[in-house]
Amino acid sequence: MHAMPSHTSLHDVLTLAEIESLVDPKTFARGKAYFHDGAVSRLEERDGVLRANVRGTHRYGVGLGVATTAN
């Protein structure tokens, strides 16, 4: 995965609807429920990657970024 320039935000290139279209519906629903239940913490975007800690069955970290490819 390549980092995006520091002036570009994930919000500029990736919408919630796009994320939902890329993952399993059950996984998306579970992640959304975790977020609304307050189980997601330390949510931050740095160097083009959105990171957070999640408290589900276990505590774990997640990251979401956009990979770029050369044409």
Which amino acid would we find at residue 5? P
In a domain, 29, yes or no: yes
What is the extent of the structural domain holding 15? 10-65
Give the number of C-alpha atoms closer than 13 A to the C-alpha of residue 57, restricted to the C-beta side. Answer: 1
**Does 71 map to a domain?**
no
Q: pLDDT digits over 10-62, tens only?
A: 777 778 898 899 899 999 999 999 999 999 999 998 888 889 999 988 999 99
pLDDT tens track for 27-36:
999 999 999 9
Predicted structure pTM score: 0.68
Inside any domain, residue 17? yes
Structurally, how many domains does the chain consist of?
1
23 inside domain: yes
Calpha distance 32→30 (Å, rounded): 5
Q: Considering the domain boundaries, does residue 51 fall inside one?
A: yes
In a domain, 54, yes or no: yes
Domain assignment present for residue 1? The answer is no
